[in-house]
Chains A and B, each alone.
Chain A
Amino acid sequence: MANVAQPRSQSSVPEGVAGALPASNRSAVRRLWPALTLLAWIAVAALCGCSNEPAPRDTHNAISESGDISSFFYQMLLWLDVAIGAIVIAAWGYALVRFKRATGDDTLPAQNHGDAKLELIWTAIPTVIVIAITVPMLVGVFRLAKRPDQNQQTIEIDVTGKQWWWEFQYKSGTANGLHTANEVHVQAGTAVVMNMTSSDVIHAWWVPRLTGKRDATPGRSYPLYFSAREPGIYDGQCAELCGASHALMGTKLFVHPPAKEVEVEYNGAKVKLDSYETWVKEQLAPAAAPAGADMERGAKLFKDKTCPTCHIVKGLEGAESASPSMTTGPNLTHVGSRMTIAANTLPNTADNLAKWILDPQAVKPGAKMTKIAMTPDEAKAIAAFLTSLK
């Protein structure tokens, strides 16, 4: 679009502009700054890539089809973004170097106000791109929301988020009635239905390598479907701010092999994983009776210090029901078989357990577990007893 005013304006020297721009304008650094900016980005981007830290919670190294769907869209959009970003930033960088005003050039550039055809094109192209990425996305949304086939064997688990731990109640198949905390076990290749809810504030259960997160909302229950492929142990965490110890509300996913035990790598160490059914059988059994005087003392202290008010130990007399609910605190029937305590916060050792029992709030700020007066020795005895509950 030609501007009528242009010819007249060519020679004008605008007042004021010269005074505003100091002499340092013409320094070499100033000419190079777009290039320097690009370099700065590349340096930062490269620094991230340079880190050869392992990524045990990589969201794009998925172990389930639903995780793959998220990853697929990431790859797709990443390349699209890189392409668009490269075009925009290249055009921008080129313009900065190419269309710099030469020293002493007081003529005006062409005073065009726009170009209808160009604008139509760069409205149309994004529209086409948006449609092209939206259609597969919609397919993905409904694929992720599809309930597993009713005829197929599924593991159904009611998940309840609590400040600050996870409760898992198995609802189907051989594991029906199994009740555990923080560490959830499933079978490779079997569809899992997790019904998410909460009993206090909103939490979100997230195991990055498995699939996307799902909110656990009090008063609501919403399902998460997945089927994990590879046996292994995967860390996760609450992803919705849920109070003081939000950062310490971890979870672990154990994917067991369907048949015989396998060895998997976890944090650089080899760990043996039983078959899922073996694990279920062990967990459904009542707790072993305390063996020996030390264990009996620990069991007695466990009861004397009122631990069963919140924690049940199936098979231990006087600790089989808790109030106000059976799930005020984690079920400890097989607490010794867990890898970690306090919601994936500490490795499950007798020392750590004793530390936790003695002063829960020192381990987790605001922890709801009551700090009960006892000597370190008593705590150790209780910890030793609990550790024996394999």
Chain B
Amino acid sequence: MAALSVFDKALEPVYHQEREVKYGLVDWLTTVDHKKIGVLYGVAGLFYLLVGGLEALLFRIQIAKPDQNIFVGDTFNGLVTMHATTMVFMAVMPLIAAFSNYFVPLMIGARDVAFPRMNAFSWWTFCFGSILLNSSLIFAEFPAAGWTGYAPLTTKAMSPSAGIDFWWAGLTMLAISSMVAGVNFVVTILNMRAPGMTLMRVPVLVWMMMVIQFLLAFSFPPVAVGLILLSFDRTFGTVFYEYTMGGDPHLWQHLFWVFGHPEVYVLILPSMGIVSEILPVFARRPLFGQHAVIFSGIFIGFVGFGVWGHHMFTAGMGPIADAVFASTTAIIAIPTGVKIFNWLGTLWGAKMTYPTPMIFALSFIPLFTIGGLSGIMHANAPLDLQQHDSYFVVAHFHYVLVGGALMGLFAGFYFYMPKVTGKLMNEALGKVHFWLFAIGLNLTFWPMHDLGNRGMPRRIYTYPADAGWNFDNLLATSGVFLMAAGTLVFVYNILTSLKNGKAAGRDPWDACTLEWLADSPPKAHNFDFTPIVFSERPLWDHKHTADMAIPVPAAAEEIHMPSYSWKPMWVSGGIVLILVGLLLLHTIPFSWLISVAGGLSIIGSLYAWVTEPV
């Protein structure tokens, strides 16, 4: 049994750094520190969470009652499109990136990611891409073809507005960002683990992060191709999606869903990982069947590539394709069930306490189960013909993504914020947030099952009063206000805790893994010494098992820390120039010169990148 105070005795490492550290704004613009980039992702993700939520609130007001005329036609469709695009690509994914950036290196005992400047490049590409996408509202109007952007609705003939151009350009940048981050984190997790951390000792959250990085790296290219084909159709007159020229709208659907389904697991697996980290801490015992939880996550990742056709049961692929995709989809239920049972196994016989992170993590189990069980219905192709594109599906994926992914991320926020800020978040406000949000989400999404059964299609901006959908829609809209209120309480909680929160200390939750060995907030170099790992729960065993104390070296380590760099932002800026040149191609003469300038600036920046000393 060793106390954590032994870590206080470790000597500060000796730094080798090429350039003096910058402070203030320049530091945030040029940082290559995974923790600062994590914070940037987190702030951006929270901002877009509010934006996406506001969009949802607006269109839910429109359909709170029948025959309303507040947001009509493509205005409504634009809100729907941007709500989904924002929530998937600009809220949940950056929040996941925030956790993976901040905590993956800490959890594996590393000083940074494998390629710190590439990491900064991912961030800036995401940042510029999301701004580009949202600037559609200023320069044109919101894209209005749904986040799924089904061709040929997205073609120039059917959607002449430039909104779709901003959509493909922005998404292309987000795709580049994710693919690069995927490669970076695969290498980080495989290669940068602390000594003794075998693959089976890697924390579950990090494992889930590794699975999703593979999914990002391998599933984004197909949709990138789909978007490239779309951009060529709209910009250079190719005919990929022109049915009058023989083009087949199914092409886009295949390319989109080959990406789209793994993407769903990208959104949910990190939250499963967060829950798998939090439950053992507050249950005060190891995760039940940790290896089974890890392997089921890997299995979900693999099978996730072979189920995309279940989004196309109504498209007319033929009974054989339907049968195959329906069967592979049903298989996903098995590893998912294994995870849920193992979480219950963790709780069984535990001695639990219920602070806010635990409440959110616990609520994940039944909420995600509800979403999973309705998913079993969708896997049934004949039944899906009724439920597809109805509110039943809307209920399903919101239980999975809000009840599952978002509740998991909230749990992660309450759990990990003390490490990031050094301050505990307010428990009372946390509870208020939980209750407002949990009741709100059930009030919003539960009635949607009923709406789907009553035959209400999704994405309609108005409906007749006699269709039997009035009561459920009113319930659903009222729930959104509760969720919005809860989210505002959450944001207030973050801000007030930053100022007034109680000091967290190194290890406020009596946790198990290496990130709690670092200071709160961690120093720039994360750990004063490289920790050695003896088990799946290195810190827990340090505290509870006499002969497994993590040794603190007597001498100071000599470390090399990467220096700040402007180059990642320059390269991202070059990509923006290329895309802006393409967007203006038919509006401003010679705007292709902007693209050429962008390409040249990328080459120049890369030369500077490889030659600058780090």
Contacts and interface: CB of A to CB of B under 8 A. Distances in A.
Query: Is there any pair of Cβ atoms, one from A and one from B, under 8 angstroms apart in the complex?
Result: yes
Nearest to A206: B457
Nearest to A130: B330
A215 B77 contact: no
Nearest to B448: A48
Nearest to A212: B385
Contacts of B438: 37, 40
A166 B398 CA distance: 31
Interface string A132-147: 0110011011111100
Contacts of A88: 340, 344, 365-366, 369
Nearest to A29: B431
B467 interface: yes
A77 to B, nearest CB: 5
B158 A201 contact: yes
A382 B447 CA distance: 44
A390 B527 CA distance: 84
A306 interface: no
A105 B351 contact: yes
Given A109-B351, A123-B338, A243-B158, A53 B468 contact: yes
A133 B330 contact: yes
Contacts of B383: 70, 73-74, 77
B510 A17 contact: yes
A127 B248 CA distance: 37
B316 interface: yes
Interface stretch (B229-237, B374-382, B576-584): B374-382
B380 A16 contact: no
B284 A122 contact: no
A142 B323 contact: yes
Interface in A43-89: 44-45, 47-48, 51, 53-60, 67, 69-71, 73-74, 77-78, 80-81, 84-85, 88-89
B381 A217 contact: no
B460 A237 contact: yes
B373 A84 contact: yes
Interface residues of B, number: 130
Nearest to B3: A15
Contacts of B244: 219
Contact of B468 (A57, A70, A78, A237): A57
A84 B341 CA distance: 11
B319 interface: yes
A97 to B, nearest CB: 10
A113 to B, nearest CB: 5
A108 B285 contact: yes
Contacts of B377: 73-74, 77-78, 81
Nearest to A51: B471
A114 B289 CA distance: 4
Contacts of A56: 466-468
A242 interface: yes
Contact of A33 (B4, B354, B459, B545): B354
B315 interface: yes
B402 to A, nearest CB: 14
A85 B369 contact: yes
Contact of B366 (A80, A89, A122): A89
B274 to A, nearest CB: 17
Contacts, number: 380
Nearest to B426: A22
B348 interface: yes
Contact of A115 (B73, B345, B363, B467): B345
Given A16-B507, A51-B472, A101-B352, A213 B388 contact: yes
A187 interface: no
Nearest to B347: A95
Interface string B1-42: 101100000000000000000000000000000000000000
A137 B384 CA distance: 11
B326 A365 contact: no
Interface in B455-508: 455-463, 466-472, 475, 502, 504-508
B167 to A, nearest CB: 14
Given A16-B506, A16-B509, A16-B510, A99 B450 contact: no
A71 B546 CA distance: 61
B153 A244 contact: no
A105 to B, nearest CB: 6
A220 B249 contact: yes
Contacts of A188: none
Interface string B75-118: 01100000000000000000000000000000000000000000
Interface residues of A, number: 117
A102 B475 CA distance: 39
- The listed residue with most B CB atoms (<10 A of its CB), out of A56, A88, A129, A366, is A88
B358 to A, nearest CB: 10
A118 B349 CA distance: 15
Interface stretch (B144-152, B173-181, B589-597): B144-152
Contact of A138 (B73, B323, B507): B323
B195 interface: no
Given A51-B472, A114-B290, A85 B382 contact: no
Given A74-B386, A141-B323, A241 B352 contact: no
Contacts of B450: 48, 51
Interface stretch (A5-13, A149-157, A254-262, A309-317): A5-13
B455 A209 contact: yes
A243 B369 contact: no
A124 B86 CA distance: 39
B599 interface: no
A293 interface: no
A142 B545 CA distance: 60
Contacts of B353: 17, 21, 25, 100-101
B381 A137 contact: yes
A92 B365 contact: yes
A40 B460 CA distance: 29
B47 interface: no
Contacts of A248: 462
Interface in B385-432: 385-390, 424, 427-428
A324 interface: no
Interface in A156-193: none
Interface in A285-325: none
A215 B427 CA distance: 50
Given A24-B428, A58-B454, A81-B376, A108 B471 contact: no
Contact of B74 (A40, A107, A365): A365
Contacts of B349: 99, 109-110, 112
A114 B294 CA distance: 13
21 contacts: A5-B545, A8-B1, A9-B544, A15-B510, A25-B427, A33-B359, A47-B447, A59-B455, A73-B377, A74-B453, A88-B365, A88-B366, A91-B344, A130-B330, A140-B382, A144-B382, A208-B386, A212-B314, A213-B385, A220-B248, A243-B144
Given A85-B366, A108-B284, A141-B319, 6 more contacts: A15-B507, A59-B453, A70-B383, A74-B377, A100-B353, A200-B152
